[in-house]
């Protein structure tokens, strides 16, 4: 028997996959933060008013609603789904809530928010039911309900609009008031981000969302209640869009039937830029929220930098492609290094 192995000095090193993955995810969040800071710094250099308190508050207010919707969209996208109807749900909720407040001016704000949540949840339930029971692909189903819900808004509104003067003072104040200098709207979306983050990372039902998106086949074998979880995801997404509608009404004061049109694409873009895998299974609401913030900052900054409309669109597009490309690249690197690294500890 011939021994050909030569003794070597260093033993194979072991790295744990988790720290590696954490590093990547942190890197991802870090990348977004860097882009954010760079964008703000560059714009501020051109026009220092961009970083005035008022302007920052405006940007955050603008981002608040997108963030809310991006959180709901994240939950759906994690399960390998998508919800294109969020803009219409927002419009429906905004109009119905505003209309309700116009008739019942004494309604407290939390009740208005509950009303919006309920309307959104109802729409989400319709989406979830069509997708799960009707076995319709999410893209098609929610593309359909995008038009259906919008149609309902037009039917309800019948061409009229609700103005700030028609709505109770207290509700409009809610859209502008702040505690400790922070507007209520921003507090609402931050609370939602944190709650959703905890739900997704620390609760069984939340982990099931990742599992469903990561491998539907394995989820079936593991006995994960796919139907219930999918319905939950779409109801949650709808409810948050509904809540977004209430915030929209409070912030802008005027609501017509076209409120929130086209918003779904912004939201999907924010989620993708925020590092949520479009085929499900990975990503966080914090990333999605950062993505929403970055897109809002960009759309506010580019006019200040006097970049014309066309280029604004192109830049957002490039950002999305860049994010997807980065995901792909990082994904390949991670899986390569996971394969390379020794999976056995000790």
Q: How many residues does the chain have?
A: 346
253 within 8 A of 247, measured Cβ to Cβ: no
With CB under 8 A as the contact rule, the residue among 225, 317, 322, 325 that binds another protein is 225
Decide: is 214 part of the binding site for another protein (CB under 8 A). Answer: yes
Total number of residues that touch another protein (CB under 8 A): 52
x-or-dash string of contact with another protein, 251-290, rule CB under 8 A:
--------------------------x---xx--------
Handedness of CA 114, 118, 120, 121 (dihedral sign): positive
User: How far is 298 from 212, CA to CA, in rounded Å?
Assistant: 33
User: Of the candidates 147, 141, 149, which has an alpha carbon nearest to the alpha carbon of residue 234?
Assistant: 141
Q: Is the separation of the CB atoms in 192 and 129 below 8 Å?
A: no
Q: Is 178 in the site for another protein (CB under 8 A)?
A: no
Out of 221, 306, 309, 310, point to the residue binding another protein (CB under 8 A): 221
Find the part of the chain contacting another protein (CB under 8 A) among 42-50, 66-74, 136-144, 218-226. Answer: 218-226
Residue closer to another protein (CB basis): 213 or 253: 213
Closest approach of another protein to the CB of residue 210, in Å:
6
The one among 71, 219, 290, 297 contacting another protein by CB under 8 A: 219
- Binding to another protein (CB under 8 A): which residues in 8-37? 8, 11-18, 20-21
Q: How far is CA 2 from the centre of its chain?
A: 62
| Tokens at 150, concatenated | 């919008």
What does the block give as tokens for 45?
A: 């250099």
CB 120 within 8 Å of CB 93? yes
Q: Which residues contact residue 161 at a Cβ distance below 8 angstroms, ignoring those fewer than 6 apart?
A: 254, 255, 256, 257
> Binding to another protein by residue 306, rule CB under 8 A?
no
Q: Which two tokens stand for residue 197?
A: 């983050």
In the complex, what is the shortest distance from the CB of residue 208 to another protein, in angstroms, rounded to a whole number?
A: 7
Question: Which one, 34 or 336, has the nearer CB to another protein?
Answer: 336
Q: Does position 135 bind another protein by CB under 8 A?
A: no
Minimum distance of another protein from residue 199's CB (angstroms): 10
The interface mask with another protein, positions 309-338, x = CB under 8 A, is -------------------------xxx-x
Distance CA(121)–CA(131), nearest Å, equals 15
Closest residue by Cα to residue 243 from 92, 108, 81, 78: 92
Q: Closest CB to another protein among 14 and 160?
A: 14
By CB under 8 A, is residue 215 in contact with another protein?
yes
d(CA 282, CA 94): 31
Question: Of 165, 180, 181, 204, which one interacts with another protein (CB under 8 A)?
Answer: 204
Residue 312 Cα distances to 214, 228, 298, angstroms: 34, 40, 8
Q: Kindly list the residues in this chain that would bind another protein in the complex (CB under 8 A).
A: 1-6, 8, 11-18, 20-21, 198, 202-204, 207-208, 210-211, 213-215, 217-225, 277, 281-282, 334-336, 338-346
């Amino acid at each position: 028997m011939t021994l050909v192995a030569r003794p070597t000095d260093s033993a194979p090193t072991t790295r744990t996959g988790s720290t590696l993955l954490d590093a990547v995810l942190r890197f991802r969040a870090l990348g977004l933060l860097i882009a954010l800071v760079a964008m703000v710094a560059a714009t501020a250099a051109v026009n220092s008013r961009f970083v005035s308190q008022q302007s920052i508050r405006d940007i955050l207010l603008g981002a608040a609603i997108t963030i809310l919707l991006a959180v709901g969209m994240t939950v759906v996208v994690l399960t390998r789904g998508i919800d294109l109807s969020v803009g219409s749900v927002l419009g429906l909720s905004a109009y119905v809530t505003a209309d309700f407040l116009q008739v019942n001016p004494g309604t407290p704000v939390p009740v208005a928010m509950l009303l919006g949540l309920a309307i959104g949840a109802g729409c989400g339930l319709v989406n979830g039911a069509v997708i799960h029971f009707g076995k319709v692909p999410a893209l098609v189903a929610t593309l359909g309900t995008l038009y259906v819900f919008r149609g309902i808004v037009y039917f309800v509104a019948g061409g009229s609009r609700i103005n700030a003067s028609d709505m109770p003072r207290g509700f409009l104040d809610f859209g502008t008031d702040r505690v400790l200098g922070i507007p209520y709207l921003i507090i609402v979306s931050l609370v939602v981000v944190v709650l959703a983050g905890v739900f997704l990372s620390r609760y069984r039902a939340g982990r099931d969302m990742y599992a469903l998106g990561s491998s539907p086949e394995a989820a079936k074998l593991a006995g994960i209640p796919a139907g219930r979880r999918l319905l939950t995801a779409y109801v949650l997404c709808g409810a948050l869009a509904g809540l977004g509608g209430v915030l929209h009404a409070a912030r802008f004061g005027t609501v017509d039937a076209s409120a929130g049109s086209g918003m779904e694409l912004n939201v999907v873009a924010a989620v993708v830029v925020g590092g949520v895998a479009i085929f499900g299974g990975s990503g966080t609401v914090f990333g999605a929220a950062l993505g929403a913030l970055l897109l809002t900052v960009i759309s506010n900054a580019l006019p200040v930098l006097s970049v014309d409309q066309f280029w604004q669109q192109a830049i957002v597009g490039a950002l999305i492609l860049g994010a997807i490309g980065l995901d792909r690249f990082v994904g390949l690197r991670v899986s390569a290094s996971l394969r390379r690294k020794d999976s056995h500890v000790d």
